Amino acid sequence: MICASDGREMAAVLMREQVDLCILDIGLPGKSGLDITRDLRAKSSLPILVLSGRDETIDRVVGLEIGADDYMVKPFEPRELLARIRTILRRANAPGSDHAAPIRYRFGNWVLNPGERSLRKSDSGEQVALTTSEFELLHLFAAHPNTVFTRDQLLDAARGRASFAGDRTIDVHIMRLRKKLSPTASTPEIISTIHGIGYSFTAQVSEDEKTGF
């Protein structure tokens, strides 16, 4: 474990060390933990767990909306913190497919590669950063297009019941995915809201072997 007292010191650590997960306190001196989370998420898929002394729903929503993988309120039991860290790392390091043939999912202008845990634009090869939760949701959707999933099912896929923060949690992750997959108003949305139930992935998905990009 490596500790940093503020954002500048943390940036120096990330430059010289390989870090598997970042635990950020919102109340840091100088740049806040939320600002650091936003900056990190813009250029990295590093798993992030945010800590805060505030237990308001809006604070949880903001933390998740800017890209945190999980949000914990202080004070907390050390065992719960360890459990959440293990859950995030397990999902971040999970292989794309254990025994099945290596495949990628293609839909629209996108290629989702579970083995690399990457999402790329098929026309340019540009990679789009996804949080662990966003990747798990998109993987589930791509593997089961046109299937209606309830919020509880999506919570299980995205973060696990141990980190349940209410239905709004999934809505935030879906909103972020929609912005990444449909960045302009002219781009049709491929995640549909099924009112009273949950969400469905409506893109036409094809699977192929992972040969090159």
Residue 198 is encoded by which pair of tokens? 């949950």
Q: What is the mean pLDDT of residues 203-212?
A: 75
What is the spatial distance between Cα 131 and Cα 81, in angstroms, rounded to a whole number? 19
Q: What is the mean pLDDT of residues 3-17?
A: 88
Is 209 exposed, middle or buried, given 0-12, 13-18 or 19+ CB atoms closer than 10 A? Answer: exposed
How far, in Å, are 53, 67, 73 from residue 5 at the CA level? 17, 21, 19
Q: What is the mean pLDDT of residues 116-140?
A: 88
Q: What is the mean pLDDT of residues 88-104?
A: 61
pLDDT of residue 159: 61
Q: Is the pLDDT of residue 94 over 70?
A: no
pLDDT tens by residue, 144-193: 999 999 888 888 777 654 444 455 678 888 998 999 998 776 777 899 99
User: Looking at 29-33, 104-108, 194-198, which range is the least confident one?
Assistant: 29-33
pLDDT > 70: percent of the chain = 88
pLDDT tens by residue, 28-69: 888 888 888 888 887 777 889 999 887 777 777 778 878 888
What is the spatial distance between Cα 110 and Cα 61, in angstroms, rounded to a whole number? 27
Strand partners, 25: 51
In 121-200, which ranges are continuous DSSP H helix? 132-143, 151-158, 167-181
- β-pairing, 191-194 vs 206-209, is unpaired
Region 1-93: CATH code? 3.40.50.2300
What is the spatial distance between Cα 81 and Cα 63, in angstroms, rounded to a whole number? 17
Could you tell me the pLDDT band of residue 209, with boundaries at 50, 70 and 90? low
Domain 96-213: give its CATH architecture: Orthogonal Bundle (1.10)
Rg of the chain in Å (alpha carbons): 17
**At a CB cut-off of 8 Å and minimum separation 6, what does 169 contact?**
60, 61, 64, 155, 158, 159
Q: Is the pLDDT of residue 200 over 80?
A: yes
pLDDT of residue 191: 95
**Residue ranges per domain, the chain?**
1-93, 96-213
Mean pLDDT for the chain overall? 82
Residue 121 is encoded by which pair of tokens? 């634009």
pLDDT tens by residue, 163-175: 444 556 788 889 9
**At a CB cut-off of 8 Å and minimum separation 6, what does 107 contact?**
142, 145, 190, 203, 204, 205, 206
Query: Residue holding tokens 């589930």?
Result: 140
Using N-to-C axis directions, what is the helix angle for 7-16 and 33-43, rounded to 10°? Answer: 30
Q: What is the mean pLDDT of residues 63-88?
A: 86
Higher confidence at residue 159 or residue 18?
18
- β-pairing, 22-25 vs 48-52, is parallel
What is the spatial distance between Cα 4 and Cα 15, in angstroms, rounded to a whole number? 13
pLDDT of residue 163: 45
